A and B are shown apart, each in its own frame.
Chain A
Amino acid sequence: MNRTRRLKLQLFRIVVFVVLGAFFLVPFGAMFEFSTRGNGVDAPRTLESWSTIATYPSLVQAILASLELAAITSAVMLFLLLPTMIWVRLRLPRLNRAIEFICLLPLTIPAIVLVVGLSPVYLWMAENLSDSILTLALAYVILVLPYAYRALDAGLSAINVKTLSEAARSLGAGWGTVMWRVIAPNMSAALLNACLLSVALVLGEFTFANLLGYVNLQVEINQLGQANAGVSIAVSVASLLFAFVLLMVLSFVGAARQALRAKPRPSDPRLEAVWGQKA
């Protein structure tokens, strides 16, 4: 590649990076700017909206509920989806297409339609089991299925599931050990991705909670926005920042693990002496 072409490519990369960065950061900056405005036209900048977040008990409650929902949804999703996908891949490959279709189905159905279908179930649950907001996790598991399925499917495709599981079984491992100690650790990046997508979806979810009559973070932000727009925007910025930091942390954790494994080690001189070359 000649120098001019390399420079052009570098310039193109920088332009794309700047444009995309602006696309994400300009609205983010505008929200932050709005959340730091004082009362009145000439009022100085203030962090009052940020500092008063904790003084709204209902907001704190909604944040905690959304975080709990995110954790429960991720756990249930993994618990249901991962063993199912591994089992289908190993023992029932003919069902692969059917499972994929079922998992991707929620993507094609509008949220409002899903809510209409689910509302009788939630009415029954509220009367007979529990009316806790945490029951929303059941609906959220359905909501995150398509995204989690795609992430896990990519992870499973990247490893030789059949051979690894057969090797483990021939060494005395049961199915549980095969799944959690052999397959899962080798697709940690896919698991992290699936969890991240689930967390992001749950933290940003509004329609289900609002229409089913529960108050999660987004519903609370919406309600707060009608009373105090500054605090509402500050919480929105905070939740976006939280998702962003989470993404960064997960990316670095994955990268650090890869780097640790890839660390080169010196070869054994005795072996080289015996074999002359790698065998």
Chain B
Amino acid sequence: MAVKEPVTRAGVEVRLEELRRSYAGVQALNGVSLTLAPGELVALLGPSGCGKTTAMRLVAGLEEADGGRVVIAGADVTNLPASKRDVGMVFQAYSLFPHMTALQNVAFGLQMRHVALDERRRRAAEMLEVVGLGGLGDRYAHQLSGGQQQRVALARALAIHPKILLLDEPLSALDARVRARLRDEIRRVQLETGITTLFVTHDQEEALAIADRVGVMNKGRIEQLGPPTAIYSRPATPFVAEFVGLTNRLPGNVRDGQVEVRGVRLPLVKSDTPNGPAIALIRPEAVSLAGDGEGVAGPLTGTVIAVSFLGATSRVTVDLGDQIVLAQMPTADATTHTAGTKVRLTLRPDPVLIARDEKASAES
């Protein structure tokens, strides 16, 4: 990568305060508050319709908030139009101006700021170098691949030296390999430039890989905000546990601050969970297998029905008779279990999150 001069500068603090937005009576954003530290990359993660894109569009000024404030570098920009907010944005859809070359696209924002011709050409060329497209300035959008187009869009957003960079699912239109590569590129450029960045995605792997902190959104609210490791290993709510990573839903019984699942007592994340039937949410990596299940009967013995190779790890699907359980382990360990083998399951005593047992609740 030919980066001649790193464009290092300090990021600014960005605050979203109690942002609200509804469409035709449907609450899309329900009091979202979030503070991005200077130079931090925060990813908003959630399913379609959870309000993550709406939050970003309110920061960009492309939508008007029903309530709340957007504060960028200490200034309230809630009522400023998009053109005056000093934000750089990369969109999900390819957004390069088709009648302009890559260089002209990157220089467009500088032209809007009345930067002199020579200076804007120099800065545009510099930004294309930063994103690794130094030699492609004279190409039009249709002469670039999807990944190249998104990198030009990134250069265009950064060229104006915005206070905040907004990335609205910029990788979702790309194929898997290009997506992973460009994700790393975005992170590299973000760290190099030190710009405060808000990244919106529905892809958990993307969010966990790129962000300093991840905010998991559901029904217009941020359910949990924290570092990727905390989001994955200590989910605050059943929704987060189920949305981020795979989760086994095993029926159990809560009693005295513990949950009993198929004869095994496990600690709870929330010790004040009321007693009664419940669904324990257990990660596949908290389930280990032993190959000595042959001839052994019990609630935690079952038959392997599939082994999915995922690279360094493999996922084993076990049929317990009344329940399917997933176990994830190093591939070397998984190879000993083939389809049809009887296995015995062990549940690691990690603190367990409880989901509402909808069936039991309905019956009661």
Contacts and interface: CB of A to CB of B under 8 A. Distances in A.
Contacts of B99: 185-186, 188, 261
Contact of A279 (B87, B109, B153, B178): B178
Interface stretch (B29-37, B128-136, B196-204, B243-251): B128-136
Interface residues of A, number: 29
Interface in A222-279: 261-262, 264-265, 268, 270-271, 274-275, 278-279
B147 interface: yes
A268 B148 CA distance: 12
A117 interface: no
B81 interface: yes
Interface of B: 1-2, 60-62, 81-85, 87-89, 91, 93-95, 97-99, 108-109, 112-113, 132-136, 138-140, 142-143, 145, 147-148, 151, 153, 156-157, 160, 166, 178, 181-182
A121 to B, nearest CB: 39
Contact of A262 (B136, B142, B160): B142
Interface string A170-181: 111110010000
A169 B1 contact: no
Interface in A143-179: 159-160, 163-164, 166-174, 177
Given A160-B93, A270-B135, A279-B178, A171 B108 contact: yes
Given A185-B99, A261-B140, A265-B138, 20 more contacts: A160-B94, A163-B91, A163-B93, A166-B91, A166-B95, A167-B95, A167-B153, A168-B108, A169-B62, A169-B83, A170-B62, A171-B160, A173-B112, A186-B99, A261-B142, A264-B143, A268-B134, A271-B135, A275-B132, A275-B181
A164 B141 CA distance: 13
Contacts of B60: 166, 170
Nearest to B108: A171
Contact of B113 (A168, A172, A271): A172
Given A186-B98, A265-B138, A278-B148, A271 B91 contact: no
B136 A182 contact: no
| Consensus secondary structure, chain B interface | mixed
A171 B81 CA distance: 11
Nearest to B147: A279
Contacts, number: 97
Given A177-B112, A271-B133, A279-B178, A170 B87 contact: yes
Contact of B97 (A164, A170, A265, A274): A164
Contact of B147 (A188, A265, A278): A278
Given A163-B91, A278-B145, A279-B181, A173 B83 contact: yes
B97 A182 contact: yes
A274 B82 contact: no
A170 B157 CA distance: 8
Contacts of B2: 270
Contact of A271 (B85, B136, B166, B178): B136
Given A163-B95, A166-B91, A279-B145, A171 B112 contact: yes
A271 B132 contact: yes
